[in-house]
């Protein structure tokens, strides 16, 4: 046969177009996009009839934690590379960029990269790539940025909070200065660690320990101040940054102001900041622990509205999951470790920070029916590929250039259903979105021409180990404003 796969009768939606086309796939690549009637079933080994459903470039989730140690206490994330990438493809996401964590006691970033490769290799259902988490920004780490680029890593994450990870402002400048030279995008967790620690002490003095006080202990000002400081430091060096997991509309305002001034400041938000609020943490007993993440869900609808607007108006470049899964009912790190005779209902500060969401990111957002479809593709796939140097191999459907990664949705009129954790493919004992009404779910996921998810025909049919490591190039979105930077000029 001329082609390996044809997908017929679908509505192709990319970040810049919505058009009825048929798709032909050959050797794992998009070979042709044709008007109806040109391609026919006889021309390929396999045919999918999309029956009018939307076909989009496979989801790219650029913020996922797999097989990582917890940030405080004992234990690690519930998902490893096998279960996390399995969950991704069942939710329509074909590429993950996960984190390779460097510990403070480990001076080398390359060592952290090698260790992460060993955890991922042969275990992945989806394609994958890594951001390095830099928590020890000493001379050794800084000297390795050039080698990271050669190894296909063009982004780093740094933290302004958490004792185990936090960098001082001078260390942040060291990172940004070398990132500028090596054309690396720096992702920043922008929360003021001192404000958080101080607030935790005040809550403890009043014996307020319930899960909902996690929200109180991470006030908007911690996020707003750190966001403005991160923008200031990156503006000083003139280097692109991305503020990760923005939850506060007031922090988003600092970001859009910086963008209006022409600074290369990018931002990310996540479904938890569109769908969860403090109320989700304010439940009887320990239940609220299921929605503890940092930054926390904010107060209410007006916050959600501000974040949706930021997606619509381009303040947010990407919508990632920040999938950071921990078991609820677990003795090492979950409920049983947090509840004690001293804290019979637990203590919020010992709850690991993070929610699962790699599988629900696309469906929840699409089901909300709020974003224009092309904008949805842009923020859930295309922009992540562009920002992190994977475009147009990923995030696009360009013949001869893009991998044949597709998320194919049900045609109009799919029966709504209630989400339950038992439907999901992660290794977590809950979803924060239990019981939500879903209006869509991927019917098929295709990765490099192979059908890896067919909801009505076997479900998960991809193979562990099929996922490949993706070497990334420089960002095609983000760059410095001027070629030269000299400390004398500032
Ligand atoms: N930061 C993340 O990126 N994920 C989960 C917890 C956190 O603080
Ligand atoms: Zn973070
Ligand atoms: Zn809402
Ligand atoms: Zn994260």
Kindly report, residue by residue over 109-149, the tens digit of the pLDDT. Answer: 999 999 999 999 999 999 999 999 999 999 999 999 999 99
Rounded to an integer, the average pLDDT of 189-202 is 98
Residue 481 pLDDT class (50, 70, 90 cuts): confident
Please name the residue whose Cα sits nearest to atom 8 of ligand 1: 294
Q: 266-305: string of b/e by CB count within 10 Å (b at 16+)? A: bbbbbbbbbbbbbebbeeeebebbbbbbbbbbbeeeebbe
Question: 310 or 344: which carries more pLDDT confidence?
Answer: 310
Average pLDDT, the chain: 96
**Dihedral sign (CA 296, 277, 379, 446):** positive
Q: How far is the CA of 435 from the centre of ligand 4 (A)?
A: 24
Q: How far is the CA of 308 from the centre of ligand 3 (A)?
A: 9
Residue 331 pLDDT class (50, 70, 90 cuts): confident
Rounded to an integer, the average pLDDT of 42-56 is 97
DSSP state of 477: S
Quote the CA–CA distance of 436 and 455 in Å, as a whole number: 19
pLDDT of 93 strictly over 80: yes
pLDDT of 177 strictly over 70: yes
User: pLDDT value at position 144?
Assistant: 98
Q: Using an 8 Å Cβ cutoff, are 158 and 187 in contact? A: yes
User: pLDDT value at position 464?
Assistant: 98
Residue 240 pLDDT class (50, 70, 90 cuts): very high
Q: How far is the CA of 56 from the centre of ligand 1 (A)?
A: 28
Rounded to an integer, the average pLDDT of 314-336 is 90
Quote the CA–CA distance of 158 and 463 in Å, as a whole number: 33
User: pLDDT value at position 480?
Assistant: 85
What is the token pair recorded at 325? 């899964």
Element containing residue 251 per DSSP (H, E): helix 249-260
User: pLDDT value at position 336?
Assistant: 76
DSSP, residue by residue, 391-445:
TTTSS---TTTSB--EEEEPPTTPPPEE--GGG--SS-S--TTTT-EES--EEEE
User: pLDDT value at position 490?
Assistant: 66
ipTM of the complex: 0.95
**For 353-408, what is each residue's pLDDT tens digit?**
999 999 999 999 999 999 999 999 999 999 999 999 999 999 999 999 999 999 99
Element containing residue 385 per DSSP (H, E): helix 383-387
User: pLDDT value at position 486?
Assistant: 80
Question: 486 or 205: which carries more pLDDT confidence?
Answer: 205
Does the beta carbon of 294 lie inside 6 Å of ligand 1?
yes
Residues that place a CB less than 5 A from ion ligand 3: 304
**For 421-450, what is each residue's pLDDT tens digit?**
999 999 999 999 999 999 999 999 999 999
What is the token pair recorded at 187? 């992702």
Please name the residue whose Cα sits nearest to atom 5 of ligand 1: 354
Residue 413 pLDDT class (50, 70, 90 cuts): confident
Smallest CA-to-CA distance from 385 within 52, 170, 93, 139 is with 93
Name the 3-class secondary structure at 106: coil
Does the beta carbon of 272 lie inside 6 Å of ligand 1?
no
Q: What is the 3-state secondary structure (H, E, C) of 306-354?
A: HHHHHHHCCCCCEECCCECCCCCCCCCCCHHHHCCCCCCCCCHHHCCCC
β partners of residue 437: 418
Quote the CA–CA distance of 318 and 63 in Å, as a whole number: 10
Indicate which atom in ligand 1 lies nearest the CA of residue 353: 6
Residues that place a CB less than 5 A from ion ligand 2: 189
Give percent above pLDDT 70 in the chain.
100
pLDDT of 332 strictly over 80: no
Smallest CA-to-CA distance from 299 within 285, 321, 280 is with 280
């Amino acid at each position: 046969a001329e082609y390996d796969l044809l997908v017929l009768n679908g509505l192709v939606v990319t970040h810049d177009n919505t058009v009825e086309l048929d798709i032909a796939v050959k050797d794992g690549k998009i070979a042709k996009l044709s008007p109806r009637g040109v391609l026919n079933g006889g021309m390929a080994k396999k045919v999918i009839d999309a029956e009018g459903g939307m076909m989009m470039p496979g989801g790219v989730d650029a913020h996922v934690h797999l097989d990582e140690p917890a940030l405080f206490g004992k234990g690690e994330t519930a998902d490893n590379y096998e279960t996390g990438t399995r969950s991704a493809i069942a939710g329509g996401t074909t590429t993950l960029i996960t984190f390779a964590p460097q510990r403070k006691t480990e001076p080398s970033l390359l060592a952290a990269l090698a260790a992460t490769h060993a955890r991922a290799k042969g275990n992945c259902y989806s394609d994958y790539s890594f951001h390095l988490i830099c928590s020890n920004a000493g001379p050794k780490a800084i000297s390795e940025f050039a080698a990271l680029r050669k190894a296909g890593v063009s982004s780093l994450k740094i933290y302004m909070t958490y004792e185990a990870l936090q960098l001082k402002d001078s260390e942040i400048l060291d990172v940004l200065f070398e990132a500028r030279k090596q054309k690396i995008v720096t992702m920043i967790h922008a929360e003021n660690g001192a404000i958080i620690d101080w607030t935790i002490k005040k809550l403890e003095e009043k014996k307020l320990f319930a899960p909902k006080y996690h929200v109180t202990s991470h006030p908007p000002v911690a996020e707003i101040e750190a966001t403005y400081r991160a923008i200031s430091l990156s503006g000083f060096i003139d280097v692109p940054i991305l503020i990760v997991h923005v939850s506060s509309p007031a922090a988003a305002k600092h970001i859009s102001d910086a963008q209006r001034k022409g600074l290369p400041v990018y931002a990310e938000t996540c479904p938890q900041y569109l769908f969860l609020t403090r109320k989700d943490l304010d439940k009887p007993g320990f239940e609220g622990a299921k929605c503890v993440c940092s930054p926390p869900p904010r107060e209410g609808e007006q916050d959600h509205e501000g974040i949706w607007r930021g997606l619509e108006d381009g303040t947010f470049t990407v919508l990632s999951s920040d999938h950071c899964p921990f078991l609820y009912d677990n003795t090492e790190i979950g409920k049983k470790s947090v509840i004690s005779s001293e804290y019979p209902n637990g203590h919020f500060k010992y709850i690991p920070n993070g929610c699962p969401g790699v599988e629900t990111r696309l469906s929840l957002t699409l089901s909300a029916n709020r974003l224009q479809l092309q904008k949805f593709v842009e923020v859930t796939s295309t922009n992540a590929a562009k920002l992190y140097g994977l475009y147009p191999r990923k995030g696009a459907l360009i013949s001869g250039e893009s991998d044949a990664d597709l998320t194919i949705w049900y045609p109009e009129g799919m029966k709504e259903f209630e989400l339950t954790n038992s439907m999901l493919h992660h290794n977590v004992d809950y979803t924060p979105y239990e019981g939500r009404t879903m209006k869509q779910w991927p019917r098929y996921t295709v990765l490099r021409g192979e059908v890896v998810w067919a909801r009505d025909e076997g479900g998960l049919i991809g193979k562990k180990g099929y996922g490949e490591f993706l070497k990334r190039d420089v960002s095609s979105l983000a760059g410095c404003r001027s070629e030269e930077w000299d400390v004398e000029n500032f």
